[in-house]
């Protein structure tokens, strides 16, 4: 059995993209396209980094023992995901409301968690529920509500070709 080197293994996805481009009728030797397979694979790896990287650690700041903290709301967190059906981008705006438990998480950590969670192929309806559960656990919150507004390129550039819609999903 032939042994495949690490560098050969790394080229497999690039060769697959090159084959797809040929299938679509593109001249893969054309100067503007010759490096496209490498760039495409790198972009997809970035868009799906949440599949391979661990979630960000959350740092908590203590509450005063008698402090009663109401809901904390972070609106319009921007994130990018990809549609699990077409592998096309979804531009997301996520709003998170939570009631802190035994400490307050750092603001940047909430944003990083949302961006990490989105960095994978998703179906928005399922993603919203999963994100609410993830944030409930990672933020050690007493309550969480998530609202996700998505512009799906799959319906923007193909199919119905409607560029004026947002898909909105919510979960508690």
Three-state secondary structure of 94-156: EEEEEECCCEEECHHHHHHHHHHHHCCEECHHHHHHHHHHHHHHHCCCCEEEEEEEEEEHHHH
Domains (ranges, CATH) in the chain? 6-47 (1.10.286), 58-171 (3.30.1130.10)
165 φ, ψ to 5°? -115, 155
pLDDT per residue as tens, the chain (172 positions): 667 777 777 789 999 999 999 999 999 999 999 999 999 999 999 999 999 999 999 999 887 766 677 899 999 999 999 999 999 999 999 999 999 988 889 899 999 999 999 999 999 999 999 999 999 999 999 999 999 999 999 888 887 777 778 899 999 9
Computed over its alpha carbons, how large is the radius of gyration of the chain? 20
pTM: 0.89
Angle at 129 between CA 126 and CA 134, to 5 degrees: 120
């Amino acid at each position: 059995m032939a042994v495949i080197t690490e560098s050969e293994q790394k080229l497999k996805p690039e060769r697959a993209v090159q084959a797809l481009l040929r299938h679509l009728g593109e001249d893969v030797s054309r100067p503007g396209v010759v490096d496209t397979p490498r760039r495409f694979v790198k972009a997809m790896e970035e868009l799906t980094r949440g599949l391979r990287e661990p979630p960000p650690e959350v740092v908590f700041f203590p509450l005063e023992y008698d402090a009663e903290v109401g809901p904390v709301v972070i609106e319009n967190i921007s994130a990018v995901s990809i549609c699990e059906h077409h592998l096309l981008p979804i531009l997301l705006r996520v709003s998170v409301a939570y009631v802190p438990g035994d400490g307050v998480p750092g603001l940047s950590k909430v944003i990083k968690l949302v961006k990490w969670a989105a960095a994978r192929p998703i179906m928005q309806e399922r993603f919203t529920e999963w994100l609410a559960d993830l944030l409930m656990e990672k933020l050690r919150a007493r309550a969480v509500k998530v609202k996700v507004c998505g512009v799906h390129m799959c319906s923007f550039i193909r199919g119905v070709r409607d560029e004026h819609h947002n898909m909105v999903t919510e979960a508690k």
